[in-house]
Amino acid sequence: MARIDQTPFEAVILGAAHDGRGITRRPEEHPHAGKAVFIAGALPGERVLARQTRRCRRFDEAEVVAVLDPSPDRVEPRCPHFGTCGACSLQHLAPERQVEGKARMLADCFGHAGVAAEAALPPLTGASWGYRRKGRLSVRRVEKKDRTLVGFRERDARFVAELRECHSIVPGVGMRLEALSKLVDGLDARSAIPQIEFSAGDEVTALVVRHLEPLGEGDRAALVEFAQEHGFAIHLQPGGLDTVAPLWPTEPRLSFRFAPWDVELVFEPLDFIQVNGDLNEKMIAHALALLDVQPGERVLDLFCGLGNFSLPLGRHAAEVVGVEGDAGLVARARANAARNGMENVHFHVADLATDLSAEPWMGAGFDRLLLDPARAGALELLQQLPLDGLKRIVYVSCNPETLARDAAYLVNERGWRMRAAGVMDMFPHTTHVESIAVFEPA
């Protein structure tokens, strides 16, 4: 294959891709006139100097070398590692424009699926810095640099970015990346630690250290000393998820509280929780308002996890039934319901991607439905779910493409109306789109 010509070229950015990169086309005098070029770091309307980084049959990829005519929407990134680290690709774009772009992406997905919301919900926004309370940090010992790198991967995902700090992560972790690097550097097993996961509750932040060989007493003592100095709970993970166990303290307690509903959720460090705690509470209030539960009504909450929606809903509904495929999450959801004195909230374990006809909660006469599936969406579930008698459905989604597909099914195949839909900025400065839609019978 011929080498890529990396001579900088000038380009005017015609638009933006869904991943945030600028789009231009090769000029008429170019051998591949009209070919699309995706340029990382460029914004619509800008004139930039770019360098090609990849050649494909239908498009090329490039990165900005210099911005010649900046967009009025361009802002100075807060993070010194922007452009290298792959975690936040939109820090150079004004926050309000980021949200507008996500709303356009949602509308585009609906359009491609042949469906449209009757109204647009105002975007839901919250904390945009220090918001990320859960994540996985890659760890790699680099002998050429004589240090261990702890952080997210670089933009091309091949290497771990050399980070000193991260402004998206909760400060207790994001401002201690160098301390974590020095910690791992001092361990005998430093080359056998591929990742560290973090999970922050209201009062305690847990670090889960994945290690591929047993840790000696010296390494364990160093981890405990680090935890005590910086206020962390340390867990060790020598194998699969079922091997995670606390090192110090021996019985840590991770939890967060929803003050508006007087609800506390206790969780384990590798449990799924919404990444942005501030926006999560706003999202719950938003979803409950859209669901509009009336006294005496029964609500079905599918993909309920720890009870993120179920328990707040329990303060309004006569009964809430939550269903989740992860038995561990269901066990903790039940414990959370008992801890909060909520006898009207019940949980079941079920694989929601399989035949559910024998499940006791199927067709049990619910008034409202809330669902919050993973990226794959919920089409198979919706195809077998009895919708008769339901007054409203609220669908929370982390993937606008599958939300659009499922919305088209509800509208075109089941005769429902999509009353409204909108985006929620759960992951500021990234291209991730969280959205919500409300449906009613036609």
Annotated binding site: 79, 85, 88, 166, 274, 303, 308, 324, 351, 372
List, in sequence order, every residue forming a beta bridge with 349; answer none if it has no partner: 324
Neighbours of 438 (CB within 10 A): 23
Burial class of residue 358 (count of CB atoms within 10 Å of its CB; 0-12, 13-18, 19+)? exposed
Q: Report the first-to-last Cα separation within the chain, whole angstroms.
A: 57
Q: Residue 294 corresponds to which tokens in the numbers above?
A: 């009336």
Measured over the CA atoms of residue 167, residue 173, residue 178 and residue 181, the dihedral's sign is negative
Output the known binding site for S-adenosyl-L-methionine. Answer: 274, 303, 308, 324, 351, 372
Output the known binding site for [4Fe-4S] cluster. Answer: 79, 85, 88, 166
* DSSP codes of every residue in 36-66: EEEEET--TT-EEEEEEEEE-SSEEEEEEEE
State the residue for tokens 């261990």: 148
Q: How far is CA 164 from CA 28, 80, 134, 168, 371, in A?
A: 44, 9, 18, 13, 39
Burial class of residue 338 (count of CB atoms within 10 Å of its CB; 0-12, 13-18, 19+)? exposed
Q: How far is CA 186 from CA 191, 222, 237, 356, in A?
A: 11, 8, 19, 52
With b meaning 16 or more CB within 10 Å and e meaning fewer, what string describes 138-150?
Answer: bbbbeeeeebbbb
Neighbours of 158 (CB within 10 A): 8
Among candidate residues 42, 47, 84, the one with its CA nearest the CA of residue 61: 42
Q: Residue 330 corresponds to which tokens in the numbers above?
A: 């269901």
Angle at 411 between CA 408 and CA 414, to 5 degrees: 115
The DSSP call for residue 6 is -
Q: Within 13 Å of residue 58, how many CA atoms lie on the same side as its CB?
A: 0
Q: Residue 282 corresponds to which tokens in the numbers above?
A: 């706003």
The DSSP call for residue 214 is P
Q: Which residues are catalytic?
A: 398
Contact indicator for 346, 320 with CB cutoff of 8 Å: yes
For residue 402, which amino acid is it?
T
Q: Residue 106 corresponds to which tokens in the numbers above?
A: 């949602």
Distance of alpha carbon 249 from alpha carbon 292, whole angstroms:
42
